């Protein structure tokens, strides 16, 4: 079929699936292979969305519908760089889309960051979500205090997952190894540190509000850190920010003795150094103030004793050899998704780690439209060429049907309450698949 436009999408997360949906939604003769290095699809839906936010994961049903189109195929357990090169994909397909996300933690860039108890949210969240890369992370949670750095939803997710009881997590798909480490742990204090103030935080009210409804943990905030009525008035807040202010105010009325675990929201503190020799014993912070929205150090330092530091300060896309990369922003260099001739990117690999899952939908549509406009079918081999190459290399490819077997095995291991028990090991996934 020389008039077929063959597109390979690398990364089976939301960005990849929305792009595939848009590419194959019209009557154009487009065929898409969605390639993922893991045997499981859905990227951040599986490994990033918090395990106790099951309703958000329902969006995967939409991706499954896309995958059920004759024109779309999932190719799992095929890794760009390990199994196949970008040059080979560009030979086989008319266009290649990098939807590889931003899985690497942004460094804090401070002394002590290399200590073993400093674990970025990318690693920590992947660990509790059973991502195979982090199944052996084995964080030491036998500590009285954890410090979470950042004032976004990832920080809230991490604090909440650590603070919830086994009973509260019963209806989640928290990785077994994480449940075994988190639930017996005796963490008493969880600090969420913001380098700016409540007005500058990027929590969403739903997520922030959850911290105020935990069974065993109370959210605390120093009333002195709340903005005055006049400041709030002058700030012309969005509806969401107004809701956050109400939640912050109610947290400021809580008292530490209400529940056995305390979640402290502390603003105007920036991390200066992680302290410890072999492992973390504290973090040095500088008190800050905010001027014109900017964080300004006051020169006044304090030490917060803590056994673990989880920076939740954003992510970076993993660079790919020969693909131009914006070092400052941490994603591929691109112009509205175009990297170079027939090579595109989408999602966090295109615009950095921000926005909700839904943000990927318009993003995918835009890049799909660009491809359909820019690229012409050239009689490339596409799918059959990939299959020949995989067979020649003896690669153990996972199809969507295979994935459904993995999914069924995980669900069968669950219960009426627990949606699934996830495999964390690729070999176990492959055993279930075949």
* Residues at the interface with ligand NAP (CB under 6 A): 53, 108, 149-155, 157, 194-196, 200, 202, 204, 207, 270-271, 295, 312-314, 353-356
Nearer to ligand NAP, 204 or 254 (CB): 204
Nearer to ligand NAP, 157 or 410 (CB): 157
User: Smallest gap, in angstroms, from Cβ of residue 230 to ligand NAP?
Assistant: 23
User: Smallest gap, in angstroms, from Cβ of residue 131 to ligand NAP?
Assistant: 15
Nearer to ligand NAP, 140 or 200 (CB): 200
User: Smallest gap, in angstroms, from Cβ of residue 348 to ligand NAP?
Assistant: 9
* Three-state secondary structure string covering the chain: CCCCEEEEEECCCHHHHHHHHHHCCCCCCEEEEEECCCCCCCHHHHHCCCCCCHHHHCCHHHHHHHHCCCCEEEEECCCECCCECHHHHHHHCCEEEECCCCCEECCCCCECCCCCCECCHHHHHHHHCCCHHHCCCCCCCCCCEEEEECCCHHHHHHHHHHHCCCCCCCCCCCCHHHHHHHCCCCCCEEEEECCCCHHHCCCCHHHHHHHHHCCCEEEEECHHHCCCHHHHHHHCCCHHHHHHHHHHHHHHHCCHHHCCEEEEEECCEEEEEEEECCCEEEEEEEEEEEECCEEEEEEEEEEEECCEEEECCCEECCCCCCCCEECCCCEECCECCEEECCEEECCHHHHCCCCCHHHHHHHHHHHHHHHHHHCCCCCCCCHHHHHHHHHHCCCCCECHHHHHHHHHHHHHCCCCCCCCCCCCCHHHHHHHHC
Using CB atoms, what's the residue nearest to ligand NAP?
152
User: Smallest gap, in angstroms, from Cβ of residue 315 to ligand NAP?
Assistant: 7
User: Smallest gap, in angstroms, from Cβ of residue 382 to ligand NAP?
Assistant: 34
User: Smallest gap, in angstroms, from Cβ of residue 324 to ligand NAP?
Assistant: 24
Nearer to ligand NAP, 157 or 407 (CB): 157
Nearer to ligand NAP, 150 or 382 (CB): 150
Nearer to ligand NAP, 96 or 241 (CB): 241
User: Smallest gap, in angstroms, from Cβ of residue 89 to ligand NAP?
Assistant: 28
Nearer to ligand NAP, 131 or 342 (CB): 131
């Amino acid at each position: 079929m020389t008039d077929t436009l063959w597109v390979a999408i690398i990364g089976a997360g939301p960005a990849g699936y929305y792009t595939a949906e848009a590419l194959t939604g019209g009557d154009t003769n487009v065929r898409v292979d969605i390639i993922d290095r893991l045997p499981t699809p859905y990227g951040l839906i599986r490994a990033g969305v918090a395990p106790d936010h099951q309703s958000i994961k329902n969006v995967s049903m939409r991706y499954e519908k896309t995958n059920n189109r004759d024109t779309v195929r999932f190719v799992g357990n095929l890794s760009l760089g390990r199994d196949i090169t970008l040059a080979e994909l560009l030979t086989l397909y008319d266009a290649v889309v990098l939807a590889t996300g931003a899985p690497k933690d942004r460094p804090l860039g401070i002394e002590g960051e290399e200590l073993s108890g400093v674990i970025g949210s990318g690693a920590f969240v992947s660990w509790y979500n059973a991502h195979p890369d982090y199944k052996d992370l084995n964080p030491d949670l036998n500590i009285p205090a954890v410090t979470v750095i950042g004032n976004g939803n990832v920080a809230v997710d991490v604090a909440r997952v650590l603070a919830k009881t086994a009973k509260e997590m019963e209806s989640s798909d928290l990785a077994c190894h994480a449940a075994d480490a988190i639930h017996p742990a005796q963490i008493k204090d969880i600090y969420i540190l913001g380098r700016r103030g409540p007005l500058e935080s990027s929590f969403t009210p739903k997520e922030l509000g959850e911290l105020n409804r935990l069974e065993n943990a109370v959210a605390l905030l120093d009333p002195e850190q709340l903005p005055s009525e006049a400041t709030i008035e002058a700030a012309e807040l969005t509806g969401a920010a107004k809701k956050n202010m109400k939640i912050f105010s109610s947290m400021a009325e809580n008292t530490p003795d209400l529940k056995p675990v305390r979640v402290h929201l502390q603003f105007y503190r920036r991390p200066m150094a992680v302290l410890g020799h072999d492992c973390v014993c504290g973090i040095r912070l500088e008190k800050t103030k905010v001027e014109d929205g900017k964080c300004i150090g006051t020169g006044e330092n304090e030490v917060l004793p803590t056994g673990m530091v989880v920076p939740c300060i954003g992510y970076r896309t993993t660079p790919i050899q020969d693909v131009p990369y914006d070092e400052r922003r941490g994603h591929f260099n691109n112009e509205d998704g175009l990297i170079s001739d027939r090579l595109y990117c989408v999602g966090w690999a295109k615009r950095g780690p921000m926005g909700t899952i839904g943000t990927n939908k318009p993003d995918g549509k835009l890049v799909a439209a660009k491809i359909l406009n820019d690229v012409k079918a050239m009689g490339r081999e596409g799918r059959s060429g990939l299959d020949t190459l995989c067979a020649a290399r003896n690669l153990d490819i996972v199809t969507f049907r295979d994935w459904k077997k993995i999914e069924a095995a995980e669900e069968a291991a669950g219960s009426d309450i627990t949606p699934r028990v996830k495999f964390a090991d690729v070999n176990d996934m492959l055993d279930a698949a075949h």
